[in-house]
Structure 1
């Protein structure tokens, strides 16, 4: 009897617990913020957030000027596969530019502020092949969201083909957006989500790290530091752990460059630059090798940016290139100085004692050896 009561009590408690879980999932809505350049770290953050939120409604707060194509594809795939209600909101003063337009059109609903902007998604440089691909991609998203005969599909294509951009008011008027929203509560009221618990999902440290190394300048800088650390370890210091740090730095840099999407030519130019830098360290004094190495690495960085149609150079990128050149120059100079020191002739033990003054501690004659104190050390002479 007691066992039956215990079992029934546990079942009731379990049912209440499961009901509570179900009630929470029905009355929770998650917000996810995308306010940075779209890179691998942001893509991982979006994918993780959607896994946590599933199957609850999600509001993606979008304010981005664009980003990289490969992470954008990952984000679009995750958005289209999400089983719950997915809303994108471009807040006051926000923008969905370049790659951000694709994310806005991939959502179930789109709300914009009056002061928001959406559009201007033409790839740069406007290579015909890339333009045709992105135009077809955005057309497919628009047809899936509206219908193949809907005039909004043509407007969506013009975001790419004509670099068209719309204000928030224009987006609502043309029905690209489903409505205006100046505050989060406006969306909750329009979608009848009042009473839902609003939960905010934030990016983790790993996702922030991936965003950092995803910058081409940072990635190249990590590879350079890693190569030079390994060289110093092997050629100068002996094992001090630098080879491990160098190896990890190279791995992080290669991951940041996204080897699956990196053109082989970019990698070849980068490796050639590193080879010239190492040649300058091995054969100091030529100088031209170091200059060529730095120049080739800058070209590799430019090519890495150039193959991303929705990424532009920023003042931050220029600063990081200057840091890269400065660091490479310092390392080259240090290598030259270390090389000069290593090339100095090392005197033999006998030569090092010539000209030194010592104190005889025993009798020393031309025919009899004795003990002599030289610089606090005893020697037989």
Structure 2
């Protein structure tokens, strides 16, 4: 009996400790900027890691102007397939979840915002010419296309716009219905590009709660019941500190190379290096660097909404500028090449989403630099090809040597340290200096040196 008393006393003593023991961990992922391939990869790996570590909640803190449709949908698929509930949190104050961010907010198990934040303007914007294999983009906050469902061009373009708006509208409505949020306003955000503040979003049941910061969010979520994968869960987040999940090296690398400006510079550096290598064969290093830069740039272009007609125009422009140096056309090839290069650069990245464009000043600067570089490097190559050959058998023409024996009309002479059979146009005595004027196979024709 005494033993059981001691056990009960020990359990009673430990009960406060057990009562205050923190729950399972909470993972914190951060989206800060335009949503692209790198962000999608980061979120995918973060949610996957949180699931393996048994996290009870994933907090997705957002401040984004929007992003690429393909990246947005990849993130939403990861949220819907997550084994841990995801709480999308628009923070800190002054942040926004525009366009693609609104879709992600609707897809999350919990939608929260900090004071002085906003969401909305989710109208999709068509990018690229119809039939050109272009994708959709969800980052533009301008609502002109969303209000009318038509583009100024009419016809096929108008039909494509309506299809994109209808598809996006149905998509966000399905997310709203799944999470029990305001589906009518969600459609208005797509069709009319409307926006809401945090307070209004809470009143209209677009979001679940307003919190000051992540610790405040976790306190407010403590004890909340959620349904995840047909199983009910109760959050225990009152005394849990969220663990930030930092991007790994792969995500950081992807973030750098998928920056359109970086990818644009990489493709040009690669072309510069390859042209330099082809103009000066045997250097090897420029060829290696050029090949790496071109391949990395092509990988980035594969992930970005690239207009391949623009890339083709860039390459044609460079080819024209090179052709002007080899086949002078009074500047027509050079000027045409420069124009094609600039036009191709402008339309290369096929989107208006903030953070995914190539600055026009960079295009002009690199266009001028490309023209100057090609004229310099290829010009040097052309000049070197036009110089007289100074090595090999041709080097003997004009060279001088010494007759080894009397030449009447043939004999032997030492030229450049080698003994050659020679034919003399005039009598030559042994030891006399001679000059080569012609070659006939291995027979040299010489004349006496004055």
TM band (smaller chain): 0.7 to 0.9
More strand by share: 2
User: Could you tell me whether the CA contact under 8 Å between 2:309 and 2:348 is conserved in 1?
Assistant: no
Gaps of 5+ in 1: 1-22, 355-364, 371-380
Task: Name the counterpart of 2:45.
Answer: 48
User: Could you tell me whether the CA contact under 8 Å between 1:305 and 1:311 is conserved in 2?
Assistant: no
Task: Name the counterpart of 2:7.
Answer: none
Deviations 1:70-113 (CA, angstroms, capped at 9, x unpaired): 22221111111111110011111101112211111111111112
Question: Residues 295 and 61 (structure 1 numbering): CA distance in 2 closer, same or farther, change over 3 Å?
Answer: farther
2:165 to 128, 131, 140: 131
Q: Do residues 143 (structure 1) and 140 (structure 2) align?
A: no
2:279 to 235, 257, 271: 235
Task: Name the counterpart of 1:320.
Answer: 362
Task: Name the counterpart of 1:90.
Answer: 90
Task: Name the counterpart of 1:279.
Answer: 323
Task: Name the counterpart of 1:33.
Answer: 30
User: Could you tell me whether the CA contact under 8 Å between 2:112 and 2:207 is conserved in 1?
Assistant: yes
State the TM-score, normalized to the length of structure 1: 0.77
Q: In the comparison of the two structures, how many residue pairs are matched?
A: 333
2:299 to 252, 255, 259: 255
User: Could you tell me whether the CA contact under 8 Å between 1:46 and 1:75 is conserved in 2?
Assistant: yes
Deviations 1:247-303 (CA, angstroms, capped at 9, x unpaired): 221111111112696455444434433433443455467544344344334434443
Task: Name the counterpart of 1:377.
Answer: none
User: Could you tell me whether the CA contact under 8 Å between 2:63 and 2:95 is conserved in 1?
Assistant: yes
- Separation (CA, whole Å) in 1 of partners of 2:162 and 2:310: 21
Task: Name the counterpart of 2:374.
Answer: 332
Bigger mean CA deviation after superposition, 66-75 or 43-52: 66-75
Structure 1 SS opposite 2:29: strand
State the TM-score, normalized to the length of structure 2: 0.66
Task: Name the counterpart of 1:342.
Answer: 384
Task: Name the counterpart of 1:116.
Answer: 117
- Separation (CA, whole Å) in 2 of partners of 1:183 and 1:77: 26
Q: Do residues 211 (structure 1) and 262 (structure 2) align?
A: no
Gaps of 5+ in 2: 1-20, 127-144, 146-160, 223-236, 401-427, 434-448
Question: Residues 38 and 276 (structure 1 numbering): CA distance in 2 closer, same or farther, change over 3 Å?
Answer: farther
> How far off its partner does 1:182 sit?
1.4
User: Could you tell me whether the CA contact under 8 Å between 1:284 and 1:339 is conserved in 2?
Assistant: no
- Separation (CA, whole Å) in 2 of partners of 1:275 and 1:179: 59
Indicate the structure whose relative CO is greater, using CA pairs within 8 Å and at least 6 residues apart: 1
Question: Residues 233 and 265 (structure 1 numbering): CA distance in 2 closer, same or farther, change over 3 Å?
Answer: same
Higher radius of gyration, 1 or 2: 2
Task: Name the counterpart of 2:136.
Answer: none
- Separation (CA, whole Å) in 1 of partners of 2:248 and 2:368: 32
